[in-house]
Amino acid sequence: MAAAAISGGHLVLSTPTSTRRPQLLPIHPPSARPIAASSASAARRGVAAAAVSSPAAVPSTGKDGKQVPKDFLHINDFDKDTIMKILNRAIEVKAMIKSGDRSFQPFKGKSMAMVFAKPSMRTRVSFETGFFLLGGHAVYLGPDDIQMGKREETRDVARVLSGYNDIIMARVFAHQDILDLAKYAPVPVINGLTDYNHPCQIMADALTMIEHIGRIENTKVVYVGDGNNIVHSWLLLAAVIPFHFVCACPKGFEPDAKTVEIARSAGSKIEITNDPKEAVKGADVVYTDVWASMGQKEEAEYRKQVFQGFMVDEALMEMAGPKAFLMHCLPAERGVEVTDGAIEAPNSIVFPQAENRMHAQNAIMLHVLGA
């Protein structure tokens, strides 16, 4: 949780016209020890988006002469070796932090702007604390501080914040916002979440799998619930590292078809089904998320009806088998998409998973800052 990276242009989100979430159309898309990536590296994907204006950071060039992305926007912007290098770095730096050693201060004298169009406890605390523990200072900008795209254009915000800070993290609604920030910011931009994907969360999940299962490759991960941004992020990881991914969701709530095809075309086994009981059999990980995400709360009661039979409870975990771990990206609506008993069971790794947000993100920041 070693290698040149690749990047790619991605998608523009459309505005939802019904209660269904927007159509998302990507153009590309126990104590752990560091583990080695396999020799077969993933295929290169596209060209890095150029930084605009200001004489600061631009994408660097890898050994093969291709540009290495300055930003962390989608997991499949990078090859397998790079993703594994980041995850291995997370393991190493986590061990140092847990030991109480505070001598590693790579971010000393650096500042990070954290832009939150969507509020979040985990994203704010994990980024802010992690950056601080490694010597840096983070500035929180809440939904009313900038109103990016309303009070001030995203391209202007990107260049202004880059003049004050060494790195930008943004948690936004529209995926185009993070693409625009990265396009115009001369400093690295990290995707803290969009309606399309949540790469930092899945990097934390991958780190957690390495710690508890020992690997990511050739595992079976079963997601039960809405085919949302978490599912898209799992699919983009499957486009880089081969594993069996199943999304069990109600009809009409499937993930974006083009993102599914990206993962399948890379060689991972991908299944989309409407039968969670059959899907979870033999799973290494059973994963769920809230049925109505932020911005969909007016659909919550409707979704509770549609998603009947998709709750992860003790009975479903028993069907999965004795080796299955439960994961949830949180916050959880206990008694809705997951039961209290399931989330508190010995095979639940939900809270180590939540802690790993900080450690995975530390490694991501180290990577994009070249530290």
Residues designated as active site? 329
What residues contact 269, with CB distance under 8 A and at least 6 apart? 243, 244, 245
Instruction: Find out whether 249 and 309 touch, Cβ atoms under 8 Å.
Output: no
Residue 41 tokens, joined: 């590296």
Helix-strand-coil split of the chain, %, nearest 5: 35, 15, 45
Which SS3 state, helix, strand or coil, does residue 124 take?
A: helix
Q: What is the residue-wise DSSP string for 292-336?
A: S-TT-GGGHHHHHHHTTT--B-HHHHHHH-TTPEEEE-S---BTT
Which SS3 state, helix, strand or coil, does residue 5 take?
A: strand
Torsion of CA 355, 358, 360, 363, to 10 degrees: -150
Instruction: Find out whether 127 and 37 touch, Cβ atoms under 8 Å.
Output: no
Instruction: Find out whether 70 and 57 touch, Cβ atoms under 8 Å.
Output: yes
Instruction: Find out whether 31 and 19 touch, Cβ atoms under 8 Å.
Output: no
Task: Identify the CA nearest to 94 among candidates 35, 138, 37, 31.
Answer: 31
